[in-house]
Amino acid sequence: MEQQAKQMAAENLGLVHACANRFRGRGVEYEDLFGAGCVGLMKAARHFDAGRGFAFSTYAVPVILGEIKRVFRDGGSVKVGRTLKEKARRAMLERQKLELSLGRTPTISELAAHLGVDVSDAAELVAVSQPVLSLTAEADGETREADVPVESPEEQVVDLLSLRRVFQGLESRDRRLIYLRYFEGLTQTKTAAQLGMSQVQVSRREKTILRQMRERMLA
């Protein structure tokens, strides 16, 4: 069961990128947003019940967004087990070694390869190691409530309209791939079968399409 959850998470990392991008430029590094999103993705993969009749993406996106928003609003209420904390501590030591070796901060993928674990597991360890952000802030000797970034309804509408425009501008085959993956919630393997492609081809093409979509939405 755990292996199936990891496989489902690995095939749906694009959901995390899509969710994390909505919070760029709000004071938190993208790697941290991605790490928190991966925690949500793994939670969703572990608890998803295909028998309920809805797509995995429909179930996973709110869970991913919830974990990302915790980065902004939680004051330490999320409890992390001792074993996971110890794993995260050792992972951060290895991350420091890798950073010295590379001369820069390693990506989540590089850290995962170095640790010999899945990307989602590495992201979870990075997220656990991050310090919590307080809901209060000191200013002029007074303790005040800190502003929590919340996406307004207007921003959501603009994002949806922009996404629709970019989606409609895709070539028909690419549009079909994205539709199967994110609207129908099919795995990369099932999407590949529908499109007459291999799972590896779907994975590579999906990454390219998502990157192009992000660039066009930010242009």
pLDDT reading at 219 higher than 80:
no
| 148 phi, psi to nearest 5 deg | -100, 120
pLDDT digits (tens, 9 = 90+) for 183-214: 787 888 899 999 999 999 998 999 999 888 88
> Which pLDDT does position 133 carry in this prediction?
45
Q: Is the dihedral angle over the CA atoms 74, 77, 83, 85 positive or is it negative?
A: positive
6 vs 80: which has the higher pLDDT? 6
pLDDT digits (tens, 9 = 90+) for 140-169: 555 444 444 444 444 554 566 667 778 888
| 136 phi, psi to nearest 5 deg | -115, 155
Query: Per CATH, the architecture of 151-219 is what?
Result: Orthogonal Bundle (1.10)
pLDDT band at 116 (very low <50, low <70, confident <90, very high): confident
> Which pLDDT does position 143 carry in this prediction?
45
211: amino acid identity, one letter = R
Determine which of 72-81, 102-111, 121-130 has the lowest per-residue pLDDT on average. 72-81
> Which pLDDT does position 197 carry in this prediction?
93
Show me where the domains of the chain are located. 1-133, 151-219
DSSP 79: -
Torsion of the alpha carbons at 172, 168, 59 and 46, rounded to the nearest 10: 50
Q: Considering the entire predicted model, what is its pTM?
A: 0.41
